[in-house]
Amino acid sequence: MKIPSMAVLVALLLAGAASAQAPPAGAPRTPPPPPAPAVPEALALEAVQTAVSTCTANGYKVGASVVDSVGGLHALAGAEGVRQGGLDSSTRKAFTAATMKAVTSVIDAQSKTDPALAAKLAADTKLFARAGAVPIMSPGGAVIGAIGVGGAPGGEKDEVCAVAGLAKIKDRLK
């Protein structure tokens, strides 16, 4: 049975390769999209390390994430002994803050009185509107990413650490 399965796999791969060939000569080429605005790597790493160390100093084992303006993960750090849930929630919170361009504690509060927002949050499993993430803005006011923290006993504690991470790099953003 393995030989027919392999033959089917090879046929599918060849069909996919044929359809992925370059367009015919003279056909217009679509340029790749520009990269999403993002926090420089060194600053993203510094922000997550500061957030984790702030929470560690307060006795909490957390994860911290920085995402770009469209929610792509750029930096992730965790305290020694952090649970996977803390790492995952930090990334989902950061994604939510970046894509919705708001502090997640504010989004959470609004969702309690806005049924449309609550439905949107419930429908998209990537969104996690619990306190713990803040957008990162360029000096010109554009959202260039977000930092999220997860794992402390209460989102308000996560948010304090996220704010500390942002404060560490804010003056050096371009």
Q: Specify whether the backbone of 138 is left (phi greater than 0), alpha (psi in -120 to 50) or beta.
A: beta
R_g over Cα of the chain: 20
Domains of the chain: 41-172 (3.30.450.150)
Read off the pTM.
Answer: 0.82
* φ and ψ at residue 13, rounded to 5 degrees: -65, -40
**pLDDT tens track of the chain, all 174 residues?**
444 444 443 444 444 444 455 556 776 788 888 888 899 999 999 999 999 999 999 999 999 999 999 999 999 999 999 999 999 999 999 999 999 999 999 999 999 999 999 999 999 999 999 999 999 999 999 999 999 999 999 999 999 999 999 999 999 998
Please, which residues have CB within 8 angstroms of residue 156's CB and are 6 or more apart in sequence?
Answer: 105, 131
Contact criterion met (CB below 8 Å) for 173 and 147: no
